[in-house]
Chain A
Amino acid sequence: ETGVTQTPRHLVMGMTNKKSLKCEQHLGHNAMYWYKQSAKKPLELMFVYNFKEQTENNSVPSRFSPECPNSSHLFLHLHTLQPEDSALYLCASSQEDMGTGTEAFFGQGTRLTVV
């Protein structure tokens, strides 16, 4: 148990659906991240939030929309996804922005399948 909880653990959605992934941390961390992990590819950083402000959008398509209502919660809203978006989506948090040299705590991930 890392202190970062993601829900749901598994999600199957059609290409016309709208769904949301949720991430919650009670570690008192200031930075939160979304990563995408596809088979045989490196983890891709998608979004970074620092003190609830988005500080990084790594050229992510607009069909992925993040939301950070407070420093403990992070959402990833999904709409009109493509089959190639099927992947493991990982949320992480850290005390400071990871670039300053602190470790990240990861959730267990949401396994997303787009059909």
Chain B
Amino acid sequence: SQQGEEDPQALSIQEGENATMNCSYKTSINNLQWYRQNSGRGLVHLILIRSNEREKHSGRLRVTLDTSKKSSSLLITASRAADTASYFCATDAAGTYKYIFGTGTRLKVLA
């Protein structure tokens, strides 16, 4: 069954606004990663958060992890048109050695 599931499926915002997308998963994890994909291209790694971490920052990105709720959120602050892409979370179930991706959130930032 699918491990990571993003919400919302699609998000449209104005440039300068913040964008928040969520990921929920079902079983305990070792790590959770967020990736970005521009239309029809490969995925680019954004940030990795370990199960013993609660929050991480990277530039305009802020990721939180709540293992009690089995959920993570990705916040992009002061969004730009160039942030338009699909965003995926990838989780690994504890005791396994493979990452499972969700269906992604399609973000559109309007100039």
Contacts and interface: CB of A to CB of B under 8 A. Distances in A.
A98 B101 contact: no
Interface residues of B, number: 26
B43 A45 contact: no
A62 interface: no
B42 A2 contact: yes
A66 interface: no
Contact of B96 (A92, A99, A105, A109): A99
A45 B99 contact: yes
Contacts of B4: 42
Interface size class of A (residues with CB under 8 A): 20 to 34
Contacts, number: 69
A42 B2 contact: yes
Given A90-B42, A90-B43, A111-B40, A104 B99 contact: yes
Contacts of A99: 30, 92, 96-99
B48 interface: yes
Given A41-B103, A101-B31, A109 B42 contact: yes
A98 B92 contact: yes
Interface of A: 2, 4, 6, 35, 40-43, 45, 48, 55-56, 58, 88, 90, 92, 97-109, 111
Q: Which 6 A-B pairs have the closest CB atoms?
A: A99-B97, A106-B42, A43-B101, A103-B45, A106-B43, A101-B31
20 contacts: A2-B42, A2-B44, A42-B2, A42-B4, A42-B100, A43-B88, A45-B99, A55-B97, A90-B43, A92-B42, A92-B43, A98-B97, A98-B98, A99-B30, A99-B99, A100-B97, A103-B45, A103-B48, A104-B43, A105-B45
Given A4-B42, A42-B101, A103-B45, 15 more contacts: A6-B42, A41-B103, A42-B2, A42-B4, A42-B100, A42-B104, A43-B43, A45-B98, A88-B40, A99-B30, A102-B48, A104-B43, A106-B42, A107-B42, A109-B41
